Amino acid sequence: MTKIRDSELLERFGDHLKGIRTGKGLSQEEVAYRADIPINQVGRIERGEVNTTVSTLFALAKGLEVPPAQLLSFEPSLSQG
**Site residues (vs a second copy, CB under 8 A):** 3-6, 9-10, 13, 51-55, 57-58, 61-62, 67-73, 76, 81
> Which residues have CB under 8 Å from 45's CB, separation 6+?
13, 14, 17, 52, 56, 60
How far apart (Å, rounded) are the C-alpha atoms in residues 8 and 14?
10
Q: If contact means CB under 5 to 8 A according to the sort of partner, which of DNA, a second copy, none does residue 71 touch?
A: a second copy
Chain positions contacting DNA, by CB under 7 A: 1-5, 22, 27-29, 37-41, 43-47, 49-53, 55-56
How far apart (Å, rounded) are the C-alpha atoms in residues 43 and 28?
7
CB of 46 to DNA, least distance (A): 5
Answer whether 80's CB lies under 8 Å from 22's CB: no
Q: If contact means CB under 5 to 8 A according to the sort of partner, which of a second copy, DNA, none does residue 29 touch?
A: DNA
